[in-house]
């Protein structure tokens, strides 16, 4: 086998390997592919989510470890000599799938999915006395402290993963915005600058069989679920290499492989489709929830009330998320209609209600996970209203007047967004990126921004 050739596994080999990993006290199973004494070492690792590997390094300049992801989600953590995490790289389908770990570098990995499969290679004749050097600051694998230490590592990796996803959403949209400015796209695109926290939270709270039903402003959910910006850009260019082969463009972009089962450009149209999917879950005995995304403008449609009533009457497990930026097209709520108290409307149908505000993505994730679980147990829809700000507003001259008024961003280019500036727009929790500072500090966020910008730049080459 060539050094860069990745072995293919049959479904039976996968299941057998995972079965042996579950049965192992180490909760992982290595399938050795090389012969004793070979200089090129190859192994397939079947790893369960609760497997702990003590932090270590490989001494010897030739011991450069290559890790290829075959299945699941794995975080590779790097440390300094004092045991502080210095970097965290994620291997995931649609993200990065291979990493080189330099020799003499402290590292370990944690599995963020139920299980994972990796293919790992390294040069050098195996000698158990010199192959690895273990870090004294990390518990040994048989230690009682290893469980708590693994939990801490996972929490840190997940926290970084979530923050990186929020930044990736913002930076991806800024890139798209610059291309809108130059007229590169032939289709209308609705950006969602400022909507990053709720999109990441929805994606992280979803489970395998759940469905996500979207509206015309869907770019943030599509990027959060797909992870690859290039395929979405190609779809916006209407290329065959696009996410939907250039057939759906922006306002109707769905992605069933990532559980985005329907998207509609028609205002309020997705309510009924979401109800249908939820009813189908009952008929198929699926333990799944349907997330339906809408805005404060679409709740003015009769379909909103009708479907709340239908979902409650038929005991459907749905989560209706209302993104409320207080604008529809160029008018504020107060300019076009009387207030709608969504809490009271939901409660009138005995539908539980939750209000999210502050753009704390970690808080949003935990609350949505709780709502999802309750929706399944109670067999009831839940209504969630999210207060947010859509950035990219402009000033429009009032006809017959010398004054100008603020008009909130709706679609097209956000002309006042400058890519050369740091991507945090305002220093308040109105901005989901700024809301991350309480967890990381500004210097760490600058590191994350540079890392994500570099990764996206490489992807788009």
pLDDT in tens, 356-376: 999 999 999 999 999 999 999
pLDDT score of 398: 66
Long-range contacts of 95-100 (CB under 8 A, 24+ apart): 95/227, 95/228, 96/69, 96/455, 97/68, 97/69, 98/66, 98/67, 98/68, 98/69, 99/66, 99/67, 100/64, 100/65, 100/66
Tens of pLDDT, residue by residue, the chain (461 residues): 556 689 999 999 999 999 999 999 999 999 999 999 999 999 999 999 999 999 999 999 999 999 999 999 999 999 999 999 999 999 998 778 999 999 999 999 999 999 999 999 999 988 888 899 999 999 999 999 999 999 999 999 999 999 999 999 999 999 999 999 999 999 999 999 999 999 999 999 999 999 999 999 999 999 999 988 999 999 999 999 999 999 999 999 999 999 999 999 999 999 999 999 999 999 999 999 999 999 999 999 999 999 999 999 999 999 999 999 998 877 888 888 899 999 999 999 999 999 999 999 999 999 999 999 999 999 999 999 999 999 987 767 667 666 666 777 888 889 888 877 779 999 999 999 999 999 999 999 999 999 999 999 999 98
Classify 120 as helix, strand or coil: strand
Query: What is the C-alpha R_g of the chain?
Result: 24
Q: How far apart are CA 9 and CA 7, in angstroms?
A: 7
* d(C-alpha 447, C-alpha 34), whole Å: 39
Contact 156, 392 (CB under 8 A): no
CATH number of the domain located at residue range(s) 158-459 in this protein:
3.40.50.970
| Dihedral (Cα; 236, 458, 57, 23), 10-degree rounding | 20
Query: Does the predicted model carry a pTM greater than 0.85?
Result: yes
Q: Could you state, in order of their start, the residue ranges of all structural domains in the chain?
A: 11-141, 158-459
Superfamily of domain 11-141: Jelly Rolls (2.60.120.10)
User: Which pLDDT value is given to residue 96?
Assistant: 84
pLDDT at 2: 59
Distance of CA 62 to the CA centre of its chain: 36
HSE-up of residue 418 (Cα within 13 Å, Cβ side)? 5
């Amino acid at each position: 086998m060539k050094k860069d050739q990745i072995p293919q596994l049959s479904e039976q080999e996968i299941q057998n390997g995972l079965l042996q990993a579950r049965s192992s006290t180490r909760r992982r199973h290595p399938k050795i592919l090389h012969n004793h004494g070979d200089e090129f070492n190859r192994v397939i690792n079947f790893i369960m989510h609760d497997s702990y590997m003590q932090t270590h390094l490989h001494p010897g300049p030739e011991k450069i470890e290559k890790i290829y992801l075959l299945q699941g989600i794995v975080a590779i953590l790097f440390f300094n000599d004092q045991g502080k995490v210095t970097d965290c790289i994620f291997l995931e389908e649609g993200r990065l799938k291979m990493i080189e770990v330099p020799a003499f570098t402290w590292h370990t990995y944690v599995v963020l999915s139920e299980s994972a499969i990796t293919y790992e290679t390294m040069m050098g004749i195996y000698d158990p006395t010199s192959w690895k050097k273990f870090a004294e600051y990390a518990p040994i694998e048989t230690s009682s402290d290893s469980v708590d230490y693994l939990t801490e590592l996972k929490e840190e990796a997940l926290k970084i993963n979530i923050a990186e996803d929020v930044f990736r959403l913002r930076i991806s949209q800024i890139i798209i915005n610059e291309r809108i400015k130059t007229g590169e796209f032939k289709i209308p695109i609705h950006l969602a600058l400022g909507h990053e926290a709720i999109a990441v939270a929805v994606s992280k709270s979803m489970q395998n069989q759940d469905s996500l039903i979207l509206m015309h402003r869907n770019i943030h959910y599509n990027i959060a679920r797909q992870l690859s910006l290039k395929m979405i850009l190609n779809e916006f260019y209407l290329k065959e290499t696009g996410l939907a082969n250039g057939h759906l463009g922006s306002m109707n972009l769905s992605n069933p492989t990532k559980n985005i089962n329907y998207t509609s450009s028609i205002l309020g149209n997705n309510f009924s489709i979401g109800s249908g999917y939820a009813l189908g879950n009952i008929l198929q005995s699926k333990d799944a929830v349907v997330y339906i995304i809408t805005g404060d403008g679409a709740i003015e449609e009769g379909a909103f009330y009708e479907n709340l009533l239908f979902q409650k009457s038929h005991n459907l497990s749905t989560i209706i998320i209302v993104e409320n930026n207080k604008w529809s097209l160029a008018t504020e709520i107060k300019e076009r209609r009387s207030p709608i108290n969504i809490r009271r409307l939901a409660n009138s149908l005995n539908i539980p209600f939750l209000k999210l505000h502050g753009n704390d993505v970690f808080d949003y994730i935990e609350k949505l996970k709780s709502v999802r679980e309750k929706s399944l147990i109670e067999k009831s829809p839940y209504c969630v209203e999210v207060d947010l700000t859509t950035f990219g507003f402009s000033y429009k001259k009032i006809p017959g007047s010398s004054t100008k008024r603020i008009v909130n961003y709706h679609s097209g280019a956000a002309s006042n967004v400058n890519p050369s500036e740091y991507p945090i727009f305002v220093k308040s929790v109105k901005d989901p990126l700024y809301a991350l500072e309480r967890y990381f500090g500004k210097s760490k966020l600058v590191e994350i921004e540079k890392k994500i910008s570099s990764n996206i730049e490489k992807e788009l080459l």
